[in-house]
């Protein structure tokens, strides 16, 4: 018996994640659900036409009843920001959309981990956990997995070293108040600063982080939307859950006192496995990083307080 995954929202991100999962032959059954049924049908049909090259699996478009028996449910549905609309306007609009989606999906939910991706992801993943009534570990926000992947790419290029040797985290909000955890970043086990020193290179860490933080906006400015990076991030999160890998990734779950943060969702290195967020790691980060992390959590909480109810 293989795995069954549902993706709610067959737009750029949902369809790209489905494509990534098909290429990786990750699941035996993949269902796309979208309010735009034609779009979901077209994407599923298109992806299914590659299966002779990717391997056997069933890809189809369906409705909320197909959420039953899913091992993972990925939510990528939502509206994009319109000209003149503020981030808060969008947060309110997507909160309404998400509430209707979670209400529908919970009518059929019987097992599985919910992976929330739609923005503002930290706020919507928090609300999803509350609305669903599921335990905190069963609702994960994709959070700063994408930001950390971007950081690894940029470090690898700056140091001209195999990306597989590069470990680095961006934590906090998937948004403006995020921060890099330089204290936990290393190259093949060598602390980042030490590696830079022995390599004889000079790296402006602030400039590197600024470039990473602006990467989403840079991509949107150039091509209108971001979806390949997030698609592979989703693929990796889903794989870690399905195969019970216990991969350490900076996903978001509602915290319960870790780092002195409670009842808000913020992204920190977390063991991701069969039960979703298996364990939130409390790393020994610097005082400055801890203060920034707490500040970031308060930024998320402020938006939650604005949009809830
Ligand atoms: P898109 O291409 O507009 O796709 C959104 C899809 O959602 C469309 O197909 C809609 O029809 C569908 N949809 C809207 N309302 C509903 C509903 N009520 N039920 C079911 N489906 C619905 O957007 P795109 O795919 O580019 O982005 C999707 C979301 O992902 C947005 O909120 C983005 O901001 C967010 N991203 C999050 C990232 C992250 O790192 N967390 C990264 C990139 C994008």
pLDDT tens per residue across span 229-273:
999 999 999 999 999 999 999 999 999 999 999 999 999 999 999
Query: Would you state the pLDDT for residue 308?
Result: 86
pLDDT mean over 161-177: 96
Interval 34-50 mean pLDDT: 98
Alpha helices by DSSP H, listed for 121-226, are 121-132, 145-159, 192-199, 205-213, 215-223
> What is the pLDDT, as a whole number, of residue 83?
74
pLDDT-derived band at 88 (thresholds 50, 70, 90) equals confident
Atom of ligand 1 nearest to the CA of 100: 18
Task: State the pTM of this model.
Answer: 0.97
pLDDT at 82 over 90: no
Reply yes or no on whether the pLDDT at 184 is more than 70: yes
The atom number, within ligand 1, closest to the CA of 40 reads: 9
Strands 276-280 and 262-273: antiparallel
Place of tokens 């400055």: 288
Q: How far apart are the first and last CA of the chain?
A: 41
Q: Sorting pLDDT into bands at 50, 70 and 90, what band is 85?
A: confident
Q: How far away, in angstroms, is 218 Cα from ligand 1 center?
A: 19
Residue 251 in contact with ligand 1 by CB distance below 6 A: no
Nearest CA-CA partner of 286 in 143, 174, 184: 184
Q: What separation in Å is there between the alpha carbon of 156 and the centre of ligand 1?
A: 30
Nearest CA-CA partner of 151 in 134, 138, 169, 165: 169
pLDDT, position 1: 66
Cα–Cα distance for residue pair 176/288, rounded to 1 Å: 17
Q: How far apart are CA 266 and CA 260, in angstroms?
A: 12
- Judge if the beta carbon of residue 10 lies within 6 A of ligand 1: yes
Q: Report the share of the chain in percent with pLDDT over 70.
A: 99
Mean pLDDT calculated for residue range 217-235: 94
Average pLDDT over residues 111-125: 97
27 pLDDT tier (thresholds 50, 70, 90): very high
Does the active-site annotation cover 49? no
Give 84's pLDDT tier (boundaries 50, 70, 90): confident
Query: pLDDT band at residue 309, thresholds of 50, 70 and 90?
Result: low
Cis bond upstream, residue 120 (ω within 30)? yes
Burial of residue 166 (number of CB atoms within 10 Å: 0-12, 13-18, 19+): buried
Residue whose CA is at the smallest distance from ligand 1 atom 9: 11
Residue 301 has pLDDT above 90, yes or no: yes
- Among 55, 4, 48, 56, residue whose Cα is nearest residue 30: 4
In the block, residue with structure tokens 């190259």: 187
Listed in sequence order, the DSSP H helices in 55-178 are: 87-108, 121-132, 145-159
pLDDT band at 11 (very low <50, low <70, confident <90, very high): very high
pLDDT of residue 89: 86
pLDDT number for residue 207: 96
- At CA 211, angle to CA 287 and CA 225, rounded to 5? 120
Band (275; pLDDT cuts 50, 70, 90):
very high
The CA distance from 26 to 107, in Å, is: 26
- Among protein residues, the one with the nearest Cα to ligand 1's atom 43 is 226
The rounded Å distance from CA 55 to ligand 1 centre is 27
Mutation probe of ligand 1 site: the residue of 76, 100, 265 with most atoms within 8 A of C-beta = 76
């Amino acid at each position: 018996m293989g795995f069954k995954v549902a993706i709610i929202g067959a737009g750029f991100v949902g369809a790209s994640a489905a494509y990534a999962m098909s290429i990786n032959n990750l699941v035996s059954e993949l269902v796309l659900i979208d309010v735009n049924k034609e779009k979901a049908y077209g994407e599923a049909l298109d992806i299914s036409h590659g299966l002779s090259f990717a391997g056997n699996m069933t890809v189809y478009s369906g409705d909320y009843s197909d959420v039953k028996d899913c091992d993972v449910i990925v939510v990528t549905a939502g509206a994009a920001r319109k000209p003149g609309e503020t981030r808060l306007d969008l947060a309110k609009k997507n909160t309404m959309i998400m509430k209707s989606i979670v209400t529908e999906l919970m009518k059929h939910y019987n097992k599985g981990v919910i992976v929330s991706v739609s923005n503002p992801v930290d706020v919507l993943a928090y609300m999803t956990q509350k609305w669903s009534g599921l335990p905190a570990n069963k609702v994960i926000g994709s959070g700063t997995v994408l930001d950390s992947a971007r950081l690894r790419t940029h470090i690898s290029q700056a140091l001209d070293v195999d990306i597989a040797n590069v470990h680095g985290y961006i934590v906090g909000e998937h948004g403006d108040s995020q921060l890099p955890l330089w204290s936990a970043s290393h190259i093949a086990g060598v602390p980042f600063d030490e590696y830079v020193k022995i390599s004889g290179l000079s790296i402006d860490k602030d400039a590197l982080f600024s470039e990473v933080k602006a990467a989403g906006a840079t991509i949107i400015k150039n091509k209108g939307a971001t979806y390949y990076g997030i698609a592979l991030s989703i693929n990796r999160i889903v794989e870690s859950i399905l195969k019970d890998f216990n991969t350490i990734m900076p996903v978001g779950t509602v915290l319960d006192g870790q780092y002195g943060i409670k009842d808000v969702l913020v992204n920190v290195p977390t063991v991701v496995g069969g039960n979703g967020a298996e364990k939130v790691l409390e790393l020994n980060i610097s005082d400055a990083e801890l203060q920034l992390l707490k500040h970031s959590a308060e930024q998320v909480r402020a938006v939650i307080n604005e949009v809830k109810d």
